[in-house]
Chains A and B, each alone.
Chain A
Amino acid sequence: MKLDPGSFRDPAGRILRSGDRILRAIYPAGAKAYEAARDAGVLQSQVEKGRLLPFQEIPTAGFVADGPMPRYLLEHPRIEFVSYPYEWPFSALKAAALLQLDLNIDLLASGFTLCDATAYNIQFQGTRPVFIDHLSVVRYEPEQGWVGQRQFAMQYLGPLLLWAKRGIAPHAWFRGSLEGIPPEDLARLLRLRDRFSFNVLAHILGPAAVHRQSLKRELGAPPPKERALPLRNFEAMLRSLRGYIAGLRLPSAKTVWGDYAGCNSYDEARRGAKHAFIAKHVGATMPKVLFDVGCNSGDFSQTALHHGAGYVVGLDFDFGALEAAFARFDAAKAPVLPLWLDATNPSPSQGWAGTERRSLNDRANADMVLALALIHHLAIAKNVPLDMAVDWLMSLAPTGIIEFPDKNDVMVKELLRARPDIFPNYTEDAFLAHVRERGEIVDQQHLGEQGRFIVAYRRS
């Protein structure tokens, strides 16, 4: 069993992985807190409500792994695809924030609370968030206040406010600053009218002002005044924040691809042929996990799901499309997780020692990939050589379907309209040759007569 490089900050325990097995080692530092939560039944109660990842204690006798000998071992079901908050669409980040608050409010009623508020403690199963850190559940101590307030502000409230109030997706900032957006930085960006809210004052502007004051205080100076946070007031604070976040909405901005599924260059017959091609090959492969790269609002993810895909990770760079996909699959309770991806700059390995948060390619566990109406954006709009684009797509899964629109396609013509055509090697023959260099072409089909071509591959 190997220690997970992303779980090392809490001395109470660590995650270990071996193949498909996920274990949590609980060390002596965390044993008492775990026993208290387990014996009070709060962990099991939250599992039954679907908020906490299920767990089962297993014997420690004979356990051999990296790290110290644990006092307890928990086994958890595997999350199909591990994602990070800087990949989540707005609705996912909001759902995660609400789960964090709901869990804390519920725990307080039983005399427990969460000792932190990091968004990395939440993972998604489809569009449903689930809390994964059982060792964050600790007894509530009235004198401690809300320990996770700053973390919550940096990783949930701040990014959501930036998005909802200023229309700026926080991903570039969040990805560069893994702990989130500091209140004192966000405070500078909020307009006067954004500040007229109790919750913005209480969790962003107030703490930012306190932070500034703390920086001015000299070392050794007497600590600032304290004031108790009674349980009733703590609960009210969390409920107020929950209500505020539940009311946050994205500004109604029309996006480039948000309505693409409804008004693109396909006619119904060609869309039908494409759906049939996907249904046939997904049905033959029956992938446990499928990546839909450039998923748009999820039409083809849906087809893949209906024809045998067990779990779909939908990846797209357009937030409007992702919101549509999230709403669609959330309503259907379907196992599809829409995530943000800039295919020319996927999530890197980063954090402590460059391994704390894994890159997309590191996490790429798909059995099959769909890359529909995508490759021309990489090869023509972004100047990625065609062979490199094919190489990256085929690296994501051993089987897959790639659509190749040639220069007669209306979308390719549009991409080339405002720039010189410096892509003499962007041809169907070259595309086929690049696929054959890396695997076998299982099937191929022209979709209509306007330059759309689709292939199914099996990597060698």
Chain B
Amino acid sequence: MKRLKEFLFVATATTVFVDTPAHAYLDGGTISLFLQGLTGAVAAGLLFGRTYLAKLTSLFRRPSDAGPNDNA
């Protein structure tokens, strides 16, 4: 469910399923600051949410020795 929400959030902002052929001589190395700004905000939101969720759930269970892992 969590992954689905993440997916829908970003998918609405990017046209990810349009696999059209592209032929040109432009530099493909250009990064998109707009996309980075957007995905950076999502990543921060997810990290913030997880941190507080982890703090909340830790109140109700024994502390684990597992390292931090924020698999998305």
Pick the residue among B15, B18, B33 that contacts A145 (CB under 8 A): B33
Q: Mark interface residues in A181-218 (1 if CB within 8 Å of B CB, else 0).
A: 01010011000000111110111011111111111100
CB-CB nearest in chain B for A146: B36
Interface presence of A232 (CB below 8 A): yes
Pick the residue among A196, A207, A233 that contacts B44 (CB under 8 A): A233
Among A18-26, A219-227, A399-407, which stretch is in contact with chain B? A219-227
CA distance A205 to B26 in the complex (A): 19
* In the complex, chain A residues whose CB is within 8 Å of the CB of B14: 201, 205-206, 209-210
Contact A145 B16 (CB under 8 A): no
CB distance from B67 to the nearest CB of A (A): 9
Q: Mark interface residues in B22-38 (1 if CB within 8 Å of A CB, else 0).
A: 11101011111111111
* In the complex, chain B residues whose CB is within 8 Å of the CB of A199: 72
Q: Which residues 28-72 in B have Cβ within 8 Å of A in the complex?
A: 28-44, 46-48, 68-72
Question: What number of B residues sit within 8 Å (CB to CB) of A?
Answer: 41
Contact B34 A226 (CB under 8 A): yes
* In the complex, chain A residues whose CB is within 8 Å of the CB of B29: 150
Contact A209 B18 (CB under 8 A): yes
Contact A197 B33 (CB under 8 A): no
Q: Mark interface residues in A146-186 (1 if CB within 8 Å of B CB, else 0).
A: 11011000000000000000000000000000000010100
Contact A146 B31 (CB under 8 A): yes
* In the complex, chain A residues whose CB is within 8 Å of the CB of B23: 215
Contact A188 B19 (CB under 8 A): yes
CB distance from B23 to the nearest CB of A (A): 8
Q: Which residues 409-437 in A have Cβ within 8 Å of B in the complex?
A: none
Interface presence of A236 (CB below 8 A): yes
Known pairs A202-B42, A243-B68, A247-B71; A211 contacts B28 (CB<8 A): yes
Q: Mark interface residues in B8-23 (1 if CB within 8 Å of A CB, else 0).
A: 0011001110111011
* In the complex, chain A residues whose CB is within 8 Å of the CB of B18: 209, 212
Pick the residue among A195, A216, A233 that contacts B40 (CB under 8 A): A233
CA distance A149 to B36 in the complex (A): 9
Q: Which residues 320-379 in A have Cβ within 8 Å of B in the complex?
A: none
Contact B19 A247 (CB under 8 A): no
Known pairs A196-B3, A197-B72, A212-B18; A233 contacts B28 (CB<8 A): no
* In the complex, chain B residues whose CB is within 8 Å of the CB of A203: 39
Contact B72 A212 (CB under 8 A): no
CB distance from B14 to the nearest CB of A (A): 4
Contact A207 B43 (CB under 8 A): no
CA distance A35 to B62 in the complex (A): 48
* In the complex, chain A residues whose CB is within 8 Å of the CB of B11: 201
* In the complex, chain B residues whose CB is within 8 Å of the CB of A227: 33-34, 36-38
Contact B71 A207 (CB under 8 A): no
Interface presence of A237 (CB below 8 A): yes
Known pairs A149-B36, A212-B20; A198 contacts B31 (CB<8 A): no
Interface presence of A392 (CB below 8 A): no
CA distance A369 to B8 in the complex (A): 54
Contact A234 B40 (CB under 8 A): yes
CB distance from A153 to the nearest CB of B (A): 10
Q: Could you list 23 A-B pairs, sorted by A, with CB under 8 Å?
A: A145-B31, A146-B31, A149-B36, A150-B31, A182-B28, A184-B22, A188-B19, A201-B6, A201-B10, A201-B11, A207-B35, A210-B14, A211-B22, A212-B20, A213-B15, A215-B22, A215-B23, A215-B24, A216-B22, A236-B48, A240-B47, A243-B68, A246-B71
Beyond the given A224-B32, A225-B34, A226-B34, please list 12 additional residue pairs across the A-B interface where CB-CB is below 8 A.
A145-B37, A188-B19, A196-B4, A199-B72, A211-B28, A215-B24, A226-B37, A236-B46, A237-B43, A239-B70, A246-B71, A247-B69
